[in-house]
Amino acid sequence: MAYSPGRLVLIRHGESECNLRGVVGGQRGCTGLSARGAAQAKALRSRLERTGELHDAAVLYTSVLARAVETAEILSDAIGGLTAVQDCGLCELHPGDADGLSWEEATRRYGSIDFRSAPTQPIAPSGESWVGFVERATANLTRIMEAHAGELVVIVCHAGVAAASLARFLGIPGPSAGLGLRCENTSLTCWERDCDRAWRLVSYNDAAHLAEL
């Protein structure tokens, strides 16, 4: 059967409470969106309702972290009323034993890691390295696109997932940890995947709706 091209839209979650409080936000540390984060998600929902740009989405996915789940719930009505499928493979880098600690305490216990110079070093015991995270995140993005060939897939996820997609799908050599690019809360990163399964970046960090705030 011939492969059909598809589109992938990655939406970063709204501002989170753990970010405001300086807490490592894995599954233990993430307590959902801040008030500003909810307002950001509602601003994006208003944009999507006005433009209809994601009205033809076939499926909506989210990571299992509360900040992404809450963002997806706010956006659902503007994305065809779809119920988000939760998938841990779409989470931010797994922080392991640092989860739920303040970043200050995590750094005291486990040190500060520069993923550019140490891309294979885990952030903490039982946590992921940058290399491992990129492999996990992009493998799951590819798996989902294979399952929805020819369709528009929308995923509410994290800045790290967007950065990982740039590193892997654009074939950038080296660790490419973040690439020094901003990824605003509730911004959209859009990809196309053609019939040869090649990725083409359409847009990155599209956060025009935040001007409304």
Which helix (H) or strand (E) element contains residue 48? helix 35-51
Distance of CA 71 to the CA centre of its chain: 11
* Inter-residue contact 60 to 125 (CB < 8 Å): no
* C-beta neighbour count of 113 within 10 angstroms: 18
DSSP for residue 104: H
Short-list 169, 198, 189, 201, CA closest to 3:
198
Active site residue 13: yes
* Inter-residue contact 186 to 70 (CB < 8 Å): no
Q: Is 61 helix (H, G, I), strand (E, B) or coil?
A: strand
d(CA 199, CA 159): 19
Active site residue 148: no
Catalytic-labelled residue, pool 15, 17, 92, 128: 92
* Active-site amino acid positions: 13, 92
